[in-house]
Structure formats: C-alpha cells, structure tokens
Amino acid sequence: MDPLFNALSQFRRRNYDKCVDLCTEMLEKQPLDQAVWCLKMRALTQRIYVDDLDVEDMDSDVFEESVVASAPRPGTSIKNGNLSKNTSTARPKTTTGRPISGMVRPNTQNRPGSALDRLKTARPLTSQSARSIRLGTAVMLSSKSGPFIQISRLNITKHAKDKNLSKPLFEYLYYHEGNVQVAMDLAVQATQFCEFKDWWWKVQLAKCYCSLNLIRDAEQQLRSALKQHYHIETFIRLTRIYIRLDQPLSAQDVCKSGLEIFPNNVSILTEIARLYELQGDMQSSIKFYRNIVSEDAMNAEAIASIGVYHFYNNQPEFSLRYYRRILAMGVYTAELFNNLGLCCLYSQNLDLVLACFQRALDMAIDPLIKADVWYNLSHVAIFAGDLQLAIYCLNLCLSCNPNHGTAFNNLAVLNYKLGKMNLAKTHLISAKNCEEHLEEAETNIKLLKEK
C-alpha cells in the first residue's frame, strides 16, 4: 500500500497518532515533500484541536473604551439582568450572578476550582484531485528530537501566498503551537494577498483579535466577513463579541438575522436561548429551547434546561419526564442522578429517592459535585423530619467543599431550631464570608440581631 494513501486513510479514521508516525517515516526519506508535510501538520492540529466556540470565555475583561454607560437602561445589560417575574421559585445563582442552567457549558456553572472539559472534534481533510509534490524550504526540515516546524525560521510572506498551505499552517500555529501573534501575522498577509476577498481569513483574524482582547477590531472583521459570505460560525462569533461587550440587544439582532438566513438552525437557536437566559428572560429562553428540541430531539442541553425550568416552577413531574429522557439517551452522570433524586422527592416518588442519590454519590468524583449531592441529601433528611441526619449531611457537604455558603446557612437554621444560638451565629458569619451576596444569610443575620 502506498504510504501516503495509508496515512490519509488513518487521518480520515481519526487515528492521528498513527498518521503522524507514517508521515514522520516518509519525511525521513523525503524531507521536502510538501504533501506529507501538510498532512502531518493537519494531523498534529486535529489531535489536540478544541472547538473554541464551546470553550470561549464570554465574561472576559473589556477595555474601558468599550464601556458606554455606568448605569445601562433596563433590559440592555446582561450584568444587571433581572429574573423573570413569571418564575414562582427563586433559582440558585452562580458566582457570576446568573441562574444555574440545565447544562454545564462555558460560563454557566463557574465554581471556584472547577474547569471545563475540552471536547475534541475533527474536520475532514480538504479534498485534492491529485498528489502534488513540491519542494519546500529549509523550515520544513524536522527531526525526531526537535520541533516539527521551526517557527522562528518561517517565511510568513511566502507561505501566505500559498493557498494550499496557508490555511493548514494557520490552524497549526493557532491551535497546536498557541502562537497567536505569528498566526495573526500570517492571517494579515494572507488577507492582503487575496485582496480582502476571502471571508475565511477575516474570521480567523477576528479569532486572533479576540484572543488579544481587541474586541472592536474583531467586530469589524466579522461584519466584513458577513458581507461576503453568510456562515453560521460568523454569526455565533459576532454574537459572542456583543455578549462580551454587554450589548445583548445587538446580540439578539445578530441571532435573528442569522435565523432569517438559516431558519431553525440549532446552533443559532442555542445561542439566542442562552442569551435570553443570561438576561433572566426564562420564558423566551424556554421557547427557543423547545424549538431546539423539535429540530433535534437528542439535544441534551435543551432537554435539561426545560427540565430545570419546570422544576423551579413547581412542576417536578414534568421535570422528571425530561430527565428520564436524558437517562434513556445513555447519559449517566452524578448530576443527572442528583436531579432525578430531587424530582422524585418533590413528586412523591419516595421509593426511588435514596436509590438515585446513592448512584449520584457513587459516580461523583469531583469533591464539589459530591458536596452538592450531600447538600441535597440534607433536604431529604429535612423532608423526613430527621434534623440530626440533615446536620450530618451538611457537615459531610462542608468536608467536601468548605466554601459552600448555602450549607453554612442551612446548618445555622437547623442549629437555631435546636436552640444553639451561638453556633447558628457562627455558621451565618461563615456563610456570609463564603458568599458575600447570599441573600438568605443576610436576612437570617438581621433576624438574629433583632432578637
């Protein structure tokens, strides 16, 4: 079998390590083979590729020039968004002040010490009609002991003019090497070489500008790219930029423009649903999540978000139905069994409560998640009327997460009912120190001072 064909086959099957090894062997025999060089570069990129749309930080600091008002008008700011008035029960909030959603995604459940798992994806190799071997330059020479590409010796101007190599080289520099500055230089010169007619390079420039926190420059590049070609990624990135600039109305306009061109697109529907959720407009958010489920019945984020909405609107039976749907999809996580246990508790399916929480404890690896499970188990004990067991569960919660403010608050309330006033005051002070904006702790401290 031809070694290059074998390497291409391994790449298509996502066996990137095997593909890299085959390319390395071919490059030892012919070090200046550009086709093999490009294939190895693509394999190295895809091996560690992360879809930055799923892990992008939307709450990054913005320059002062982006701030237009210290007190924005109601409904025009995400940071000051109010909860929906139609929600009968107050939902718990994250450290950033937004309601906890039904799915862990970037900036939804940021907790101290937590980290998002990066999901690896892959893109197919650009099809070529025939193998075109061209001799490259000395920068292509690599050895097993040294780096694959010597970035300091790259001739950016020469590679920017090569339409076949410039795009794979940019992705290698941006994703594999993490050298945003050199990648941006390559994108700038490639954009100039194509006379500013290639929308793809403008999107890549916007990515580089976002990494360097040049938000307004990224906005201009994406706006220019949309004038040349409509693409879903461009709409989503432009939406994220307006979210970083705290301009939710502009972000809504971009999403609605995208839906006019790509009707019922799940990615854009998800963005606008998240946007309304950031603003606290849960009714509009759930409407778009329902549209997502009608288009994609296996969308776990939409199903989980609808389940959370029903749970906090005193409809645990409906919420249980959605969580059972996620369970039937093959999702087995500690968070899911924890939510199933709570739904069973409040829908009076008491025979399944302890079984669900037991599975949640067995599957919980992260101490923060295990702390939340013990916290919810304390509510089961309170529901059963066993205050001592509830205190024991809260103590186990604090042993897993010493900064759990709501656990300190509930522990203070239970000790107050048992007549331990001093201990209750101590726990309330600890709750206030852990979470400064915890409303329950502030209210309880005021009540204790009045007595």
Beta bridge partners of 150: none
CB atoms within 10 A of CB 242: 22
Answer whether residue 60 shows pLDDT above 50. Answer: no
- Answer whether residue 309 is part of any domain: yes
**Most confident of the ranges 55-69, 200-214, 423-437:** 200-214
The domain that contains 187 carries what CATH number? Answer: 1.25.40.10
| 300 close to 324: Cβ distance less than 8 angstroms | no
Of residues 78 and 6, the one with the higher pLDDT is 6
* 272 and 355 both lie in a single domain: no
- Kindly state the average pLDDT of the residues 375-383: 92
* 310 and 245 both lie in a single domain: no
162-201 b/e with 16+ CB inside 10 Å = b?
beebbbbbbbbbbbbbeebebbbbbbbbbbebeeeebbbb
Structure tokens at 126: 């650009």
- Kindly state the average pLDDT of the residues 320-346: 92
Answer whether residue 11 shows pLDDT above 70. Answer: yes
Beta bridge partners of 120: 50
Looking at 272, 296, 320, which one is the last position of a domain? 296
Q: Is 314 helix (H, G, I), strand (E, B) or coil?
A: coil
* 288 and 303 both lie in a single domain: no
Give the model's pLDDT for residue 15: 94
Answer whether residue 301 shows pLDDT above 60. Answer: yes
Give the model's pLDDT for residue 73: 62
- Answer whether residue 273 is part of any domain: yes
* 159 and 258 both lie in a single domain: yes
pLDDT tens, 183-206? 999 999 999 999 999 999 999 999
- Answer whether residue 398 is part of any domain: no
- Kindly state the average pLDDT of the residues 69-74: 58
Give the model's pLDDT for residue 438: 84
Of residues 54 and 341, the one with the higher pLDDT is 341
Answer whether residue 313 shows pLDDT above 80. Answer: yes
* 161 and 287 both lie in a single domain: yes
Burial (CB < 10 A; 0-12, 13-18, 19+), residue 334, is buried
- Answer whether residue 443 is part of any domain: no
Range of the domain at 36: 3-49
Give the model's pLDDT for residue 447: 86
* 291 and 311 both lie in a single domain: no
- Kindly state the average pLDDT of the residues 2-11: 92
Of residues 63 and 376, the one with the higher pLDDT is 376
The chain-wide mean pLDDT, for the chain, equals 82
Q: Give dist(CA 65, CA 179) in Å, integer.
A: 26
* 162 and 288 both lie in a single domain: yes
* 211 and 330 both lie in a single domain: no
pTM: 0.78
Looking at 375, 392, 410, which one is the last position of a domain? 375
The DSSP-derived string for 407-421 is HHHHHHHHHHHTT-H
* 164 and 266 both lie in a single domain: yes
How many structural domains does the chain have?
Answer: 3
Q: Give dist(CA 250, CA 252) in Å, integer.
A: 5
Long-range Cβ contact pairs of 82-90 (< 8 A, separation 24 or more): 82/280, 83/280, 83/282, 84/280, 84/281, 84/282, 84/283, 86/282, 86/283, 87/282, 87/312, 87/313, 88/312, 88/313, 88/314, 89/312, 89/313, 89/314, 90/312
Task: Place 88 in a pLDDT band, splitting at 50, 70 and 90.
Answer: very low
Give the model's pLDDT for residue 119: 29
* 183 and 212 both lie in a single domain: yes
pLDDT tens, 117-153? 322 333 333 333 333 333 334 444 444 555 777 887 8
- Answer whether residue 445 is part of any domain: no
Give the model's pLDDT for residue 145: 53
* 164 and 311 both lie in a single domain: no
- Answer whether residue 81 is part of any domain: no
pLDDT tens, 222-278? 999 999 999 999 999 999 999 999 899 999 999 999 999 999 999 999 999 999 998
- Kindly state the average pLDDT of the residues 270-288: 92
Give the model's pLDDT for residue 105: 60
Residue with tokens 């030892």: 28
* 176 and 286 both lie in a single domain: yes
Of residues 375 and 101, the one with the higher pLDDT is 375
Looking at 335, 352, 375, which one is the last position of a domain? 375
| 174 close to 204: Cβ distance less than 8 angstroms | yes
- Answer whether residue 440 is part of any domain: no
- Answer whether residue 237 is part of any domain: yes
